[in-house]
Copies of this chain bind each other. A is one copy, B any other.
Amino acid sequence: MATTKTPDANRRSERSRRAIFDAALELVGEVGYDKLTIEGIASRAGVGKQTIYRWWPSKAAVLLDAFTADAGDEPGWELPDTGDLAADLKFVLRATVDEFNDPKFEAPYRALAVAGANDPELSEQFVNRLQDTGVQAYVERLRRAQEAGAIAEHVDLRIAAEMILSPFSQRWLMRTAPLTYDFVDTLVDLVLGGISRR
């Protein structure tokens, strides 16, 4: 049956799991991802190193679990639909601006984005568990707008969502410019209206 050394999850210590998550999130905020170490997490959590290695393959995996356990991103998340697409998008994006400017959120999320860029396997998990849910919610809202006739039929909604979200993510990840309400408002307007003169 090829189980090959899988530890018994039933006997797992919930207390340790929580302590490891807390320690990981604290430490990544304090020292940054590069200086985050398994030993440091174990020590802060009051846990043996082996208890971490038993359940996770890398510090990135620990952090990913810690982050999702914490910020649990309920899967069925949805954007509001007041009928006014631009307003709805701006509303949600402004909230996201606040979230991404929160230091509690920033350190682990940036660390995961970065670790993912180097490790395709982790990247997939990161994207699936954290980014895609967000993108899907946008695509869904755009789909309803398209059905209501507000968006042209030929438009690829996935790409449309990326036109909104990627400039946002990119600015944040690369720190090329601050994330402001103005920025997202302008972005939404340009995406909806296009840049060409009519």
Task: Using CB atoms and an 8 Å cutoff, list the residues of chain A in contact with chain B.
Answer: 32-34, 110-111, 113-114, 116-118, 120, 123-124, 127, 131, 142, 149-153, 155-156, 159-160, 162-163, 165-167, 169-171, 173-176, 183, 186-187, 190-198
| Cβ-defined contact, A120 with B175, below 8 A | yes
Find out whether the CB atom of B195 lies under 8 angstroms from the CB atom of A191. yes
* Contact between chains at B197 and A194 (CB < 8 Å): no
Give the chain B neighbours of A186 by CB distance below 8 A: 156, 159
Picked from B120, B149, B163, B176, the residue with its CB within 8 Å of the CB of A190 is B163
CB <8 Å contact, A116 and B156 = no
Bound form: Cα–Cα A160–B194 in Å: 9
Number of copies: 4
Q: Which residue of B lies closest to A164 (CB)?
A: B163
Contacts of A131 in B (CB 8 A): 174, 176
Minimum CB–CB distance for A123 against chain B, Å: 6
What are 9 A-B contacts with C-beta separation under 8 Å? A116-B174, A127-B174, A151-B196, A155-B190, A156-B190, A159-B183, A163-B190, A166-B167, A194-B194
CB distance from A167 to the nearest CB of B (A): 4
A32 near B118 (CB under 8 angstroms)? yes
Q: Which of B114, B165, B187 contacts A117 (CB 8 A)?
A: B114
Contact B118 A197 (CB under 8 A): no
Q: Is the CB of B175 within 8 A of A123?
A: yes
**Given A33-B118, A167-B166: A192 in contact with B183 (beta carbons within 8 A):** no
